[in-house]
Amino acid sequence: MKKKQGARMDKYLLVSVLSVCVGIFVWWLVTDGLGLFRSNVLPSPVKVCQTFLKKWVEARPDGATLLQHLMASLKVALGGYLIGALVGIPLGIFMAWNDKVDMLVRPVFDLVRTIPGVAWTSVMVTLVGIGYMSKALVIFISAMVAMVINSYSGIKQTKTVHLWVGQTFGASNWDLLTRVAIPSALPMIFTGLDVALGSAWTTLVAAELLASTRGLGFMIQQARGIFRLDIVIVGMVVIAITGAILSSIIRKIGDRVVKGGRLR
């Protein structure tokens, strides 16, 4: 089945690459090509590429190289994300499995989930100051929310008939959870991991815009202040590519762990 899809995937890839190329070409056309925009309003793709390469070694104008910014952002995002997963997945599972846990946690959770992650920034800065902790906590909250929601509905979607099968085999309540409900919820849990990664990464950049001394968001914010739109765009591109890579890693892991696909 995989091989058959291979040919279609190649075609799909070709079209995607083509559309990106067309986009870049139009961008070049309106800047360097026809000169519709001056380079301090919209820098050309060539200029952005030059800045991108230069920024790997140059700390100017914001005090750190691109790699240092990227690593700072990754450290915060992955830290908050991992703790979010470690707390969010079990919380979602137990909320779905046990009515008492659900009743206890649900009201608080329903209130928290409606607050955009960034809104926590000011609170966190007041609590723990500008630094790693405040940002990691903001990421933690937004990642955890996505994780709870997805593992919760994954467990809730366990088929009754599968639980019955477990029961006719004499499975204990713990067996039913660990050997029926959780395996059947795994696809949803991995969806949660993917969604949470997306919200962690976007929240991070927003948090860095407000409270930071290093990181991609900080770099963008500084560049904006001195009208260096080329650096802003470099920041945006790096954020996009890093996000896509991280997401594809999660999906690869998911494909490895989630076996057997779905039966009708």
Partner 1 sequence: MSENKNVLIEFRHVDKEFDKPEEGMYKVVGDLNIQVRENEFLVLFGPGQCGKSTILNMIAGFEMPTAGEIICDGKAVDRPGPERGMVFQNTALFPWLTVMGNVEYGPKMQGVKKEERRRRAQKYIDLVGLQGFENSFPVKLSGGMQQRVGIARAYCNEPLVMLLDEPFGHLDAQTRYLMQDELTRIWQAEKRTVIFVTNNIEEAVYLADRILVLRNCPTGVKAEYEINLPRPRNYTDPEFLRLRREIDAVVDHTL
Q: Which residues of this chain interact with partner 1, rule CB under 8 A?
A: 159, 161-162, 164-171, 175, 179-180, 183-184, 186, 258-264
Question: Toward partner 1, which CB reaches closer, 6 or 170?
Answer: 170
Q: Are 208 and 215 in contact (CB under 8 A)?
A: yes
Q: How far from the centroid of its chain's Cα atoms is residue 15's Cα?
A: 25
Cα distance between residue 151 and residue 189, in whole Å: 5
Cα distance between residue 255 and residue 252, in whole Å: 5
DSSP 29: I
Question: Toward partner 1, which CB reaches closer, 11 or 259?
Answer: 259
C-beta of 36: minimal distance to partner 1 in Å? 54
Cα distance between residue 65 and residue 24, in whole Å: 25
C-beta of 221: minimal distance to partner 1 in Å? 46
Q: Which residues contact 128 (CB under 8 A, 6 or more apart)?
A: 134, 137
C-beta of 111: minimal distance to partner 1 in Å? 32
C-beta of 175: minimal distance to partner 1 in Å? 6
